[in-house]
Amino acid sequence: MTEIHHIVEYHPYYLVRNNPNWREQYPDTRLILDFKDAKRPAIEHFKKLIISELAVQVQLGNNWGVAVVPSSQRGEWGEGLKDIAESLHAKYGVGYYFDALRRHQSIAKLAGGGDRSLETHLGTITINRSELPGSMILLDDVTSTGNSLRACEHRLKEAGVENVYLMAIGETTHGTP
């Protein structure tokens, strides 16, 4: 199974919201929530971290592409993730395939208790591009079970992509922080 790389730990809001100091104690959680709301400082913060991490971990170049895990809503992608993908394209010449994967049917938001099963993701995500590179970076904002990333990886490999580097900004910590 392909490893899912992540930058920071994410403490789910429902676990920390009763703590009046959660914003100070869990700044990465606050920044991820800001990232999901497309707030520019959070996007810039995580963009720098992801670009630095990928520069060390992956031999980037024009034989690579970058794609984004689609939103839970049909035909939508996160603005922050699209921005990071565009920056990787500009800085390293990787192909800009943010929309290589498309959710053709909306699902309940996962943070709100939606179905996180691999089957749900496989049943609602399709390939949206006819030509893809041999290697792809796949970006997601937060991973909990890894199933949305794994479903997208599966779809990319079905379409002929040989290598997929799975990268999430945050990995959900399970349990009380």
pLDDT at 6 over 90: yes
User: CA 25, CA 19: separation in Å to the nearest integer?
Assistant: 9
d(CA 96, CA 11): 30
Taking only the tens place, the pLDDT of each residue in 92-130 is: 899 999 999 999 999 988 777 777 899 999 999 999 999
**Could you tell me the two tokens for 92?**
């390293």
CB atoms inside a 10 Å sphere around CB 107? 19
- For residue 82, pLDDT beyond 90: yes
Please state which CATH number belongs to domain 4-172: 3.40.50.2020
**Torsion angle of alpha carbons 155, 157, 159, 165, nearest 10°?**
90
Q: Which of 144, 104, 136 is nearest to 120 (CA)?
A: 104
Query: What does the block give as tokens for 121?
Result: 């993701």
Q: What is the pLDDT of residues 14-70, one digit of tens each?
A: 777 777 777 788 888 889 999 999 999 999 999 999 999 988 888 877 789 999 999
pTM reported for the whole predicted model? 0.92
Name the residue ranges covered by the structural domains of the chain.
4-172
Place of tokens 């794609």: 67
- Give pLDDT tens digits for 126-177: 999 999 999 999 999 999 899 999 999 999 999 999 999 999 999 998 655 4
The answer for residues whose C-beta is within 8 angstroms of residue 50's C-beta and 6 or more apart is 7, 84, 88, 139, 167, 169
